[in-house]
Amino acid sequence: MIFTRTAHPGMALGVQTKGGEEAKRGEQVQNSKEELIQKTLLENYQSYYRLAFSYVHQEADAMDIVQEGAYKAMRKACTLREEGFVDTWIYRIMINTAKKYLKKYRRTYEELDEDCMVVEEESVNLELWTIVDQLPVKEKTLIILRYYEDKTLMEIADILQENINTVKSRLYRTLEKLRRELL
Amino acid sequence: MEFNNEFYELEKSLSRAGADYKNISVPNDLEKKLEKVVKRAKRIHRFCIPAAAAAAMLTLVILPNTGAGVAYAMGNIPVVGRIFQAVTFRNYQYEDGRFIANVQIPQITLSDIGMETASSKASSELNETIKQVNFDIERMTEELVAEFEASAALGESYNDLEIHHETVTDNGRYFAIRLFIYQGAGSGTQSYQIYTIDKLSGRQIQLKDLFLEGSDFNTRLSENIREQMREAMAEDAGKAYWVDREENPGMNWKGLKEEQNFYFDADNNLVIAFDEYEVAPGYMGAQEFTVEKDVYEDLLK
């Protein structure tokens, strides 16, 4: 099917061939995907926020990231293929958004890291969490998803769009590194 | 546990340390803000075709150059003078599941109707300027299309490209065309590109060309815009701009750039356009602020 359209792209897409029926059905699918994404966002936003916070260590910025990720997820509803993977799909968008933030404001964050990253509270595991928190973003993400958010390796592979073996070996290396640091 | 007993103790401690991670407190108002964001996102109708209807298609249409005679006949404009027009001279559409492009590439045309074509210095300058602007538009848009095609060919992630144009100013003195560009590679960015031409001098102008030399128009305009940002945020808690941020102040908007995009609205007020991320977090999209004439009038050339 070929059509040319010169209308404003912000307007609803008028498919004027026999694709009209398909388009209508497509719209229903689209709406149900939007509903699902909305529901998942509002159920799991705390997890997305914590992950974002562990990247940027700033409340306002972490809020921005989650809001932006939510906005993108809603607008990209049509690219969600497998509804069963909605959670990992949103995680992926959130992580990409957070990384974009880090990249854009690297200098600001580096300055911040030097002067105001002070941890005050005392707790048995705080030391371990502090070490995890200081890992490079890639490794930190792995640990958070696996041990704090209880994701399976399969789910993590889907979130990061990596091969499961790559995920597994990276996790192995990260654990080795942590063990060395703890000794 | 993933690695048998090798990391047993460590994995156990990591799971326990999850309590500290979960201690990261989540702001109370985040849920409300998210509801607003979701609502806003729903209002924008995304152009999204069901996979079944989306047989790969690629159409490149070269539209006839709308010459003076045609413009005159079609618009039936009873005027004598110089007509500026932005016409779509190339239309590019691509649709293949995850890859969607809808691109309109404009050109500015100039026609003298009912009068002798002037041959003054300003006039030849104007022709040069229009040629240059058209060249810039073409080069920039073709680059974006090429980038899009390359990623579609590789099937990398998902990608949208939307470009459309609008004549935003056409008064006695100025002509401005605005290109809206949405590039959705991974996370997606929105931006504006505005070309503003001074009909009198025949030149493409920057913001500073409007104002008296040495005048601090930047502070005047920026302060007004900051004030508008504060008002907007006070009115609607769902809005955010990078102004007065105490934590991470390095992120605050620092004022207008030399090549800031601008045009004039129908009442001749100045409109300043910002790309996504320039003055606000990404979910706010690209932004425009109108600064009323009387704010800056005394600084004009």
Q: What is the pLDDT of residues B80-103, one digit of tens each?
A: 567 888 988 888 888 876 678 889
Weakest-pLDDT range from A3-7, A66-70, B117-121, B256-260: A3-7
CB contact under 8 A, A71 and B31: no
Residue A37's CATH number: 1.10.1740.10
Q: Are residues A132 and A106 in the same domain?
A: no
Q: In terms of Cα–Cα distance, which of A156, A167, A166 is closest to A91? A: A156
Domain residues for A148?
119-183
Q: Are residues A114 and A47 in the same domain?
A: yes
From A118, A139, A160, the end of a domain falls on A118
Residue A11, in any domain of the structure: no
Burial B208-235 (b: 16+ CB within 10 A, else e): eebbeeebebbebbbebbbeebeebbee
* More reliable by pLDDT, A12 or B159: B159
**pLDDT score for B270:** 96
Closest chain A residue to B189, measured at CA: A72
Mean pLDDT of chain B: 80
Helix (H, G, I), strand (E, B) or coil at B195: strand
Q: Are residues A92 and A140 in the same domain?
A: no
Contacts of A3 in chain B (CB under 8 A): 57, 59
Domain boundaries B215-275+289-301, corresponding CATH code: 3.90.640.20
Contacts of A26 in chain B (CB under 8 A): 48-53
- Chain B contact for A154 (CB, 8 A cutoff): no
Distance, in angstroms, between A25 CA and closest chain B CA? 8
The tally of domains found in chain A comes to 2
CB contact under 8 A, B47 and A61: no
Weakest-pLDDT range from A168-177, B50-59, B205-214: B50-59
Chain B 222-261, residues with CB within 8 Å of chain A CB atoms: 240, 245, 247-248, 250-251
Angle formed at CA A94 by CA A84 and CA A97, multiple of 5 degrees: 140
Q: Are residues A114 and A159 in the same domain?
A: no
Residue A10, in any domain of the structure: no
From A69, A89, A118, the end of a domain falls on A118
Question: What is the bridge-based pairing of β-strands B99-113 and B159-170?
Answer: parallel
Phi and psi at residue A2, to the nearest 5°: -125, 130
Whether A114 has a pLDDT exceeding 80, the answer reads no
ipTM confidence: 0.73
Chain B 187-206, residues with CB within 8 Å of chain A CB atoms: 187-188
**Mutation for testing the A interface, residue in B16, B21, B43, B61 having most A CBs under 10 Å:** B21
Q: Are residues A67 and A135 in the same domain?
A: no
From A73, A91, A118, the end of a domain falls on A118
Q: Is the pTM of this model over 0.80?
A: no
* pLDDT, average across residues B45-51: 43
Q: Are residues A142 and A101 in the same domain?
A: no
CATH superfamily for domain B48-205? Fervidobacterium nodosum Rt17-B1 like (3.30.565.40)
Q: Domain-by-domain residue ranges, chain B?
A: 48-205, 215-275+289-301
Residue A2, in any domain of the structure: no
Whether A134 has a pLDDT exceeding 90, the answer reads no
Q: Which of A98-102, A128-132, B11-15, B24-28 has the highest average model confidence (pLDDT)?
A: B24-28
**pLDDT score for B295:** 95
